[in-house]
Amino acid sequence: MRPVLVLTHVPYEGPGLIAPGLDAPVRVRTVVGTADPVLPALDEVSGVVVMGGPMDADDDRGHPGLAAERALLAAAVDADVPVLGVCLGAQLLGMALGAHLHRRHGTEIGFAPVDVVADDLVLGPLGSRPTVLHWHSDAIDLPPAATLLASTPTTPVQAFRAGSALGVQFHVEVEPSLLDLWLTTPTMTADLDDEELATIRSDGARHLPTLVPAAHKLVQGFAEQVRTRG
């Protein structure tokens, strides 16, 4: 079976529970700082997963590899390659498909519900109003011809489907050890006080036992698309 390409942007925002749930070989690459990165051809991979990161999705000057990621994502959707974009990955996917990025649109950090507004085979296991982990301030418009799947008042586009691609602004990859890592990573917590950190930690203990099994089912749905491609 061809591997799934996983693009990461910083060491502490890895694929989390996504990678082991794919039941496929995984190639993890970080190319964000390279102006002309060498990426595998799409006929060499069975799917593409793009993770989060602290940078803006349109900051090509500071992070020149982002342009190559967006080009790869656009080509993947054209070629009907399964794609899963998470947080920054969803923003890159949206931009690749023609949507506009809004910097500092509204900060959402912590566990809070999203309203699921349309059916999707992959997103569906999360339910109609799941409580998920948010950690972002930028937002993306709905790409042309995409279907809006989930929303919040602060961030109208929380999830969308565009052909073979699913973008989710929230973090489906998080399990307890990854959340612990984030809560002890200065880059992640620089704008949070001790009370906010304690709330996220206690909310994680309350919500992750429900969220993690649902996220595993979401990944299984994506993995089925990957297996179909082979």
Residue 166, domain CATH? 3.40.50.880
Residue 230 has what pLDDT?
Answer: 74
pLDDT score at 182? 97
**pLDDT number for residue 75:** 98
Total-model pTM: 0.97
Question: pLDDT tens track of the chain, all 230 residues?
Answer: 899 999 999 999 999 999 999 989 999 999 999 999 999 999 999 999 999 999 999 999 999 999 999 999 999 999 999 999 999 999 999 999 999 999 999 999 999 999 999 999 999 999 999 999 999 999 999 999 999 999 999 999 999 999 999 999 999 999 999 999 999 999 999 999 999 999 999 999 999 999 999 999 999 999 999 999 87
What CA dihedral angle connects 62, 132, 106 and 85, to 10 degrees? 40
What H or E segment, with its residue span, contains residue 23? none
Structural domains in the chain (count): 1
| Bridge partners, 27 (sequence order) | 5
Looking at residue 123, the DSSP 8-state letter turns out to be T
Residue 22: CA atoms inside 13 Å, Cβ hemisphere, count? 26
All residues at 6 or more sequence positions from 216 whose CB lies less than 8 Å from its CB, including other chains = 17, 21
DSSP string, 192-212: --HHHHHHHHHHHHHHHHHHH
At which residue do the structure tokens 């950190």 appear? 197
Parent domain of 42: 4-229
Rounded Cα distance, 199 and 195, in Å: 6
Helix (H) or strand (E) holding 12: none
Contact assessment for residue 214 and residue 115, using Cβ atoms and an 8 Å cutoff: no
